[in-house]
Structure 1
Amino acid sequence: MTVFRDLRHYIDNLTDHLGDDEVRVVDGAHWDLEIGGITELVAEKEGPALLFDNIPGYPTGYRVFTNFMGTAQRCAVALGLPADTSKMEIIRAWKDLSKRIEPIPPVVVTSGAVLENVMEGAAVDLTAFPTPRWHDGDGGRYIGTACMVITRDPDSGWVNIGTYRACVQGKDRLSLWMLGNRHARAIAKKYWDRGEACPIAVVVGSDPILSTVAAIAAPEGVSEYDVAGGLRGEAVEVLYAPGTDLPIPAHAEIVIQGEMPPVEEESVLEGPFGEWTGYFTHAGQETVVRVNRIMHRDAPIILGAPPMIPTVPAGDQSVPLYSASVTWDHLEASGVQNIRGVWAYARQLMMVISVEQTGAGDAMHALLAAAGRKRTGGMERYFVVVDEDIDITDINHVLWAIFTRVDPSESMHILRAPTTAIDPRLSPAKRAAGDMSMGIVLIDACKPFAWKDDYPRSNRFDEPYRAEIREKWKASLTL
């Protein structure tokens, strides 16, 4: 696979593999809402990646890059696969790669492009970058939407990388909202319990493998650097800035370093923010980073993944692809037979499993196994199982199966499971009581096994004939 040295290498490869129109340069869009609005409109049409330049009030070359993994094709390029790899084959490739991955620790180097510019002490200025205000209800300008937050466990030395929203609060202050069950928060608490501030680094702009691994999180004790190295087949180059033991990507666009004191010592009003659920969520006193150093490349690029309504087809597709592949692995480990595919919609709010039924209990087995993988604090809400004739990467096919193969009185089951503080459906009373649970729905949208062979035949042309028609008419029609 292609190993991307940095974000710029990935951008160049998008145009090399998918054409010059795959990355659209947008000149003159304003950081206040306009960049966010353009990104949303283009994402809704599954349009190109966007590189914003000449942003009013900032030097030429200080850029923002969005919609960077907004289509399956761009995800394929990011994973080093042929650009025309089908959606289901991307899932298979990721699933197979994750099974045989051998973690590769990062390699320490002494220099890198991120050191081209260094601000320290009084020279630190977060406002030097064209951080967008992404949504009209946001409580600030969020530089961290696809960022890497790096911490090191003071006991074991484990280096953890996660993704948390980060808001510019001043020249030398950044706020982070970290849920209490996340690794970085647990590491920070160890420092706080010792009466110390937690050393921290926030990376804004890295290659797609690093940004994806940061968002999906490795198991406790496993560094995301090692996982990224295994996925790439090559170690990530990192360096240590003076006075810190936090390894940072040597070729990152921007790295913000500092220390994070406990909330009781210093905090700031953070939020609200238009989250990935499609709603503005959470505003409150949250942790701050006291920034003491900023490093950045010449002509730095902010990597942005502004959350949108999750049914928008584009946006960052890496999370649903990962969730689908991990669910597939879990189903196989649970003994579910004849799985034909797994797909995730609205990031992972709806998981859809395709199976070839061989027995009356196959569909329910798949549903219960999939629900059993629901992450603590995750928001997976709907689990659907369909027959192998349904193209689960096409939402219209999934809906057709639900609408025509489900008897609501027999085929739907409701359970309760943990959810997350981001969940907009949690009532104020439940939040106040600390009840972080929500219903989940299991939907058997398969033909009833007892008479599936007698189920009415579909009137849809089969794939070989559809492929024949596409080939014959591709020159004159868009099919």
Structure 2
Amino acid sequence: MTAFRDLRHYIEHLTDTLGEGEVRRVEGAHWDLEIGGITELSAEREGPALLFDDIPGYPSGFRVFTNFMGTPARSAVALGLPADAPKLDIVRAWKDRDLRLIPPVEVATGPVLENVLEGEDVDLTAFPAPRWHDGDGGRYIGTSCMVVTRDPDSGWVNVGTYRVSVHGKDRLSIWFLDNQHARAIAHKYWDRGRNCPIAVVVGQDPILSTAAAMSAPKGVSEYDLAGGLRGQGVEVLYAPGTDLPVPAHAEIVIVGEMPPREEESVQEGPFGEWTGYYTHSGQEPVVRVRQILHRDDPIILGAPPMLPTIPAGDQAVPLYASTMTWEHLEQSGVQNVRGVWAYARQLMMVVSIEQTGAGDAMRALMAAASRKRPGSVDRYIVVVDEDIDITDINHVLWAMFTRVNPAESIHILRSPTTSIDPRLSPAQRAAGDLSMGIVLIDACKPYAWKDRYPRANRVDEGYRAELRERWKDVLSL
């Protein structure tokens, strides 16, 4: 795996690997809605990564980078795989990786210290944080950021990704779900009458972004996870005056402390979340910013949530969900799993199996459902036969439309969801009832007579490959 030095190294590598058109420079787009709108329109057609510069009201060189892993090819490059790797091979490579936890490497200095702002010089408004959607309640500088905290008891360093909004020159807001590690760590400080030290990293390489979004087990630092993914330790330094390690090659690091909500809070949100809706908004904790570190010509890494049917700016989330589900199925004893693929940021998980006995499909469905994490918004789990290309939604739909008997192939369970779930009724929210149904769909040929199932009329893969090669000029149009 390529160990990217920093975000800039990744941007250069994208261009070197996939060509000049893979990263498009956009000049003059406004931070208020234009950057977000252009990002979404480009993502809808799996367009290039976008590097916004010359943003009105800001110095040239203060940039925003979006759609950084918005295609399978960019995801493959970000994860150190060949750019033309088939989609399922990306998941398989992750699943079969020999992942060791490699701790970070402490260094004395790094590019993030090129500018150290303290006291009166602290000014978050100096950065072109976008307002991504017209219904957003503010400017969100943190959409693919890293929030760093340290457990006061064990010294465990936790790194997570949360939404972070600017509320003036020296104030941020952060929204944590109740089950997230950073909230539990913050409460330890608050219960002792102390403010929680915190650092927000804005702009890091895609492996660090991926690790921060993966939510390592309690007690395991995402830095160690990122080191394992990179094959070498992440270079970190301590933010001046703190015991918080931050990436030495980060673009921007915002350092401060978070008092209890009862002492100081702000109205956070609304914010257009990844489900495609505005849901949570309310009084949330603030970060009192006392220090900003940043490189010359800093880059904000942006992954604004879009409709889940649009390719994600950060493809690592569905790839990670697919990998973890595949591993869980095998660990649960489900045999002959041929692949797992997530759609709509895992609102629908599709599993491919080769049936070897009656009940295999239901066993796979139940095992996949048991992997559902508390607070996730999974909706549909579908199991199909190995002849279905699960990375092609049209193939999945074909299986669902032609191999499902609605009277006997569909099952509904009840499971916890999260407060960003748009389908929670007002009554459920008022009662604190965060439960929702999930649908299990057996879209396999019935095992008892699968050999007598009508034959498909689809051109086989071998002949397809021949045609693609022989008629590539025609088929590339």
> Residue type matched to 2:367 in 1?
A
Q: Deviations over 1:280-302 (max 9, x none)?
A: 12110001000000000000000
Q: CA deviation at 1:21?
A: 0.2
1:300-339 equivalences in 2 (<5 Å): 300-339=298-337
Please name the residue that 2:193 is paired with: 195
SS in 1 for 2:407: helix
| Distance in 2 separating the partners of 1:472 and 1:121 | 66
Q: CA deviation at 1:102?
A: 1.1
RMSD (Å) for aligned C-alpha atoms: 0.7
Please name the residue that 1:37 is paired with: 37
Residue 44 of structure 1 contacts residue 314 of structure 1 at CA under 8 Å; is this kept in 2? Answer: no
Is 2:325 the counterpart of 1:366? no
Please name the residue that 1:181 is paired with: 179
SS in 2 for 1:354: strand
What's the TM-score, normalizing by structure 1?
0.99
Q: CA deviation at 1:446?
A: 0.3
User: Which residue of 87, 104, 107 maps to 1:106?
Assistant: 104
Q: CA deviation at 1:86?
A: 0.6
> Residue type matched to 2:46 in 1?
E
Residue 150 of structure 1 contacts residue 246 of structure 1 at CA under 8 Å; is this kept in 2? Answer: yes
Please name the residue that 2:296 is paired with: 298
> Residue type matched to 1:391 in 2?
D
Please name the residue that 1:63 is paired with: 63
| Distance in 2 separating the partners of 1:446 and 1:414 | 17
User: Which residue of 389, 392, 409 maps to 1:391?
Assistant: 389
- In the alignment of these two chains, the number of paired residues is 477
Residue 142 of structure 2 contacts residue 302 of structure 2 at CA under 8 Å; is this kept in 1? Answer: yes
> Residue type matched to 1:383 in 2?
I
Residue 306 of structure 2 contacts residue 312 of structure 2 at CA under 8 Å; is this kept in 1? Answer: no
| Distance in 2 separating the partners of 1:136 and 1:294 | 28
| Distance in 2 separating the partners of 1:445 and 1:476 | 34
Please name the residue that 1:341 is paired with: 339
SS in 1 for 2:56: coil
User: Which residue of 393, 409, 412 maps to 2:410?
Assistant: 412
Please name the residue that 2:422 is paired with: 424
1:15-26 equivalences in 2 (<5 Å): 15-26=15-26
Q: Deviations over 1:195-233 (max 9, x none)?
A: 000000000000000011101110000000001001111
What's the TM-score, normalizing by structure 2?
0.99
Please name the residue that 1:234 is paired with: 232
| Distance in 2 separating the partners of 1:353 and 1:281 | 30
Q: Deviations over 1:289-337 (max 9, x none)?
A: 0000000000000000000000113422100000000000000000001
Q: CA deviation at 1:431?
A: 1.0
Residue 239 of structure 2 contacts residue 255 of structure 2 at CA under 8 Å; is this kept in 1? Answer: no
User: Which residue of 286, 289, 314 maps to 2:287?
Assistant: 289
Residue 426 of structure 1 contacts residue 436 of structure 1 at CA under 8 Å; is this kept in 2? Answer: yes
User: Which residue of 130, 133, 136 maps to 1:132?
Assistant: 130
Q: Deviations over 1:37-58 (max 9, x none)?
A: 0000000000000000000000
User: Which residue of 326, 348, 351 maps to 1:350?
Assistant: 348
Q: Deviations over 1:356-399 (max 9, x none)?
A: 00111000000000000000111111000000000000000000
User: Identity percentage over the alignment?
Assistant: 78
Q: CA deviation at 1:141?
A: 0.2
Residue 176 of structure 1 contacts residue 287 of structure 1 at CA under 8 Å; is this kept in 2? Answer: yes
| Distance in 1 separating the partners of 2:74 and 2:125 | 31
Q: Deviations over 1:233-253 (max 9, x none)?
A: 100000012210000000000
SS in 1 for 2:233: coil
Please name the residue that 1:439 is paired with: 437
Please name the residue that 1:267 is paired with: 265
Please name the residue that 2:398 is paired with: 400
Residue 277 of structure 1 contacts residue 423 of structure 1 at CA under 8 Å; is this kept in 2? Answer: yes
| Distance in 2 separating the partners of 1:173 and 1:313 | 32
User: Which residue of 108, 113, 116 maps to 2:114?
Assistant: 116
SS in 1 for 2:134: coil
1:82-101 equivalences in 2 (<5 Å): 82-97=82-97, 100-101=98-99
Residue 168 of structure 1 contacts residue 175 of structure 1 at CA under 8 Å; is this kept in 2? Answer: yes
SS in 2 for 1:281: coil
| Distance in 2 separating the partners of 1:318 and 1:281 | 24
| Distance in 2 separating the partners of 1:41 and 1:396 | 22
Q: CA deviation at 1:438?
A: 0.2
| Distance in 2 separating the partners of 1:2 and 1:410 | 48
Please name the residue that 2:469 is paired with: 471
List, as ranges, runs of 4+ consecutive aligned residues in structure 1 with deviation greater than 2 Å.
none
Residue 353 of structure 1 contacts residue 385 of structure 1 at CA under 8 Å; is this kept in 2? Answer: yes
Residue 46 of structure 1 contacts residue 314 of structure 1 at CA under 8 Å; is this kept in 2? Answer: no
Residue 204 of structure 1 contacts residue 302 of structure 1 at CA under 8 Å; is this kept in 2? Answer: yes
User: Which residue of 211, 215, 218 maps to 1:217?
Assistant: 215
| Distance in 2 separating the partners of 1:2 and 1:415 | 42
Q: CA deviation at 1:424?
A: 0.5
| Distance in 1 separating the partners of 2:292 and 2:230 | 27
| Distance in 2 separating the partners of 1:382 and 1:455 | 25
User: Which residue of 147, 159, 166 maps to 2:164?
Assistant: 166
| Structure 1 stretches lacking a partner, 5+ long | none
SS in 2 for 1:210: helix
> Residue type matched to 1:394 in 2?
D
Residue 167 of structure 1 contacts residue 175 of structure 1 at CA under 8 Å; is this kept in 2? Answer: yes
> Residue type matched to 2:85 in 1?
T
